[in-house]
Amino acid sequence: MKTWIPWITVIALAGWLLGSLRQPPETGFQTRDFGKLPVLLNGRIQPFDSVARNSLLQIRTRQSIEDVTADQWLVELMMKPDAADKRLVFRIDNLELLNLLGLSDKQKYFSFNDLQPHYGDIDQQAQRIDKLDTSARSVFEQQLMKLFNATQLYQRLKLTLCPADSKDLGREVAAYQQLIPDGIAAVRAKEAGQKYDEKTLNIFLGFLAEFDDMAKYAYPLVVPPLQDAKSRDDWQNAGTSLMSLSKGADLNPAVKSYVAMVAAYQNDRPEEFNQALEGYRQWVGQWYPAETGKGIHEAFYNFFQAFYKAIILYILAFLLAVTALLTFAIAPKLSETLRRTAFYLVILTGLIHTFAIVFRMVLEGRPPVTNLYSSAIFIGWGCVVLGLMLERVFAVGLGCAVASFAGFVTLVIAQNLAIDGDTMEMMRAVLDTNFWLATHVVVVTLGYASTFMAGFLAITYILLGLCTPLLGQKVGQLELGKVLTKMVYAIVCFATLFSFTGTVLGGIWADQSWGRFWGWDPKENGALLIVIWNAIILHARWGGLVRDRGIMNLAVFGNIVTSFSWFGVNMLGIGLHSYGFMEAAFNWLMLFIATQLIIILLGLLPSRFWRSFQGRAPAPGAAKA
């Protein structure tokens, strides 16, 4: 086989990645550029694009709708809600809920117009359920609350830029501005018991009531503070800003631009929309360069979907590496070509993975792990790095196979954790410390990663040993089985170092922030379990209590221990109750633990059942116990 095949394959895939970065120019309304505008939501600056995607994730569990992008949908919803109300954006899976609302169970997605006749029912149920403890809610009640929250979010988004029933915001705001002096005079006259023009007063109060609704319910804060404001964080929503006109304030340039954009969109005039958008982009870019830059960069990050692409590449690399492993005895040259391709591909994907993590860190101004979502991504990254290191030392394809498998699985878990919405939320006060996030959290997460890595390698050992003769085959000077044993031992050593140091650093953080080094809190106990488990593996080996196969079984059990500390402790006390997403996660966790137990049972089979050890007596890897 030719040595250029791996290079060509990887370069072609890199080309595909770069090609996916090119976007065709947008015709008509420049919603993509609109999506880059900065707003303040969840306490942080983010682009409209993130608002759109995260809202769609919560409402529809997807980041887009079939024929429109998230940005296009958001623009329509905020500017021409009547049209948006026809789109199928609400996802309902629960049959009881569909029955309650009298909706067909043939479809999954419903429009706001579909739901509107039943809004009273939803609201009534939600009032009742809201009083229940979250852990005491049934699946139906959970799903109803989810739908209720989705409709709330949807309606708040609608009020971000214009009042309900607005037909031409430009004219409406102009009329309001003109009416202000007379309106105020009428209000004062009425208060003083003097004669006033009732019609003027009513129209004026009508405007104020509509803007007041916007001020109360609008979702993101879209109006940046003026230059003389006290704090750069002092963003407002459009409603508050419009209300302040009646107190003598000038029309904020941002509001002026947004009103122009809305009016152009309502009147279907793309050029005017794009012009107003461009004007605002220049203004905000001039006065708020950091915020504007953040918006542009985060929108790029959203668009790139690096983790999603990495999933695809990891699958590909995994298939290549497994094929390489299975063929290395039959067709060594083909196997080597496939292995090299897989190796380069994991490096390429690892680079994208790293790039996306670093990009996220810069966007957030935080160390890599800040929540469960980012811990999944980082565990995957740690496994990939460890796997590549193993592959570099033992060039047999095992490192690649396990690295790509771990990368793929953890990123899929991360994607599922992201449906709650914003994954870059601000850190609560006690967590607001980059020093401890960078030390304790990173180290302990690497401890998780390496324990998983050892477990996955052990699974490979058991499966290959049972089903193939490969463990007995020589790679270089060593048998594959021995290579795997060395790998698992080395990784368990790493895992001990990381999990111990990480756990104790956590204790020191706790001592720093509330004076208790150790409080037997579930999360602490989970981390301690991993440390002890790794210590058990090492001591059992040193004491000769277990040999190769025994160590492998112990390492697989390490997967159970780690998954319990990573996820299980978050579900304590709710295992028996239904808890929305966590209920699904709980089932997955149980399934994972069950598969690990089955693998351990397989690993306990006497060595005569192992294809790799057949025809050899006595089996070299047999456990003593």
Partner 1 sequence: MFLERLIKFFASLRLTVVCLALGMVLIFTGTLAQVPLGLYRAQNEFFRSFFVYWQPEHFAWKIPVLPGGYLLGGVLLINLVSAHWQRFSLTRNKAGIWMVHVGLILLLLGQLLTDMLAQESTLHLRVGDARNYSESERAYELAVSDVTDPASTQVVAIPEPLLLKQRAISNPELPFTVRVHDFYANSTLTNNAAAGYEPAPGNVGTNGLWFKSLPRETAMNLRDLPSGIVEIVTPQGTGGSWLVSAYLTQPQAFIWQKRKYELLLRPERFYRPYSLRLEQFKHDVYKGTDVPKNFSSRLILDRPDTGEHREVLIYMNNPLRYAGETFYQASFDEDDGGTILQVVHNPSWVTPYLACLLVGSGLVVEFLSHLVPFLKRRRAV
| 490 near partner 1, judged by CB under 8 A | yes
How big is the site for partner 1, counted in residues (CB under 8 A)? Answer: 62
Q: Residues near 620 by Cβ (< 8 Å), separated by ≥ 6?
A: 481, 548, 613
Q: By three-state DSSP, how is residue 38 classified?
A: strand
504/313 Cα distance (integer angstroms): 36
* Of the residues 40, 311, 317, 619, which one makes contact with partner 1 according to CB under 8 A: 40
542 makes contact with partner 1 (CB under 8 A)? yes
E strand spans, 443-576: 474-475, 478-479
- Give 126's contacts (C-beta < 8 A, 6+ positions apart): 144, 145, 148
Alpha-carbon distances, residue 245 vs 58, 241, 249 (angstroms): 35, 7, 5
Q: Among 428, 615, 617, 618, which residue sits at the site for partner 1 (rule: CB under 8 A)? A: 428
Does 474 bind partner 1 (CB under 8 A)? Our answer is no
| HEC per residue, 476-512 | CCEEHHHHHHHHHHHHHHHHHHHHHHHHHHHHHHHHH
Tell the residue number behind the tokens 């993975």, with chain if given.
353
User: Which listed residue (100, 334, 540, 622) binds partner 1 by CB under 8 A?
Assistant: 540
- To partner 1, the closest distance from the beta carbon of 435 in angstroms equals 8
For 426: left if phi > 0, alpha if psi spans -120 to 50, otherwise beta; the answer is beta
**Alpha carbon distance 489, 458 (integer Å):** 10
User: Between 306 and 490, whose beta carbon lies closer to partner 1?
Assistant: 490
Near partner 1 in 169-228, by CB under 8 A: 221
539 lies in the site for partner 1, by CB under 8 A: yes
Closest approach of Cβ 495 to partner 1, in Å?
Answer: 11
Nearest one of 479, 363, 487, 396 to 45, comparing CA atoms:
363
Cβ nearer to partner 1, comparing 104 with 477: 477
**Nearest-approach distance from CB 128 to partner 1, in angstroms:** 24
CA distance 497 to 530: 11
Residue 105 or residue 511: which is nearer to partner 1 going by CB?
A: 511
Q: What are phi and psi of 39, to 5 degrees?
A: -140, 170
User: Does residue 494 belong to the site contacting partner 1 (CB under 8 A)?
Assistant: yes
Which amino acid, 530? I
Q: Which of residues 497-536 bind partner 1 (CB under 8 A)?
A: 497, 500-501, 504-505, 507-509, 511-522, 525-526, 528-529, 532-533, 535-536
Report d(CA 387, CA 454) in Å as an integer: 10
Tell me if 298 sits within 8 A of 333, measured CB to CB: no
> Which one of 56-64, 116-124, 229-237, 371-379 is the stretch in contact with partner 1 (CB under 8 A)?
229-237
Q: By C-beta, is 331 or 389 nearer to partner 1?
A: 389
Map residues 384-403 to x or -, x wherever contact with partner 1 holds by CB under 8 A: ---------x----------
Q: Which is nearer to partner 1, 246 or 499 (CB)?
A: 499
CB of 545 to partner 1, least distance (A): 6
Helix axes 480-514, 398-417, angle to 10 degrees: 40
CA distance 256 to 519: 55
Distance of alpha carbon 397 from alpha carbon 337, whole angstroms:
11
**Residue 233 Cβ, how far from partner 1 at the closest point, in Å?**
4
Whole-number Å distance between alpha carbons of 263 and 422 = 30
- Contact call for residue 250 and partner 1 (CB under 8 A): no
Provide, rounded to whole angstroms, the least separation between the CB of residue 98 and partner 1.
33
Per CB under 8 A, 567 contacts partner 1: no
Instruction: Report in angstroms how near the CB of residue 283 gets to partner 1 at its nearest.
Output: 21
Minimum CB separation of residue 197 from partner 1 in Å reads 38
Among 15, 28, 43, 606, binds partner 1 (CB under 8 A): 43
Instruction: Return residues touching partner 1 (CB under 8 A).
Output: 40-44, 221, 233-235, 393, 425-426, 428-430, 432-433, 436, 476-477, 490, 493-494, 496-497, 500-501, 504-505, 507-509, 511-522, 525-526, 528-529, 532-533, 535-536, 539-540, 542-543, 545, 561, 564, 569, 572-573
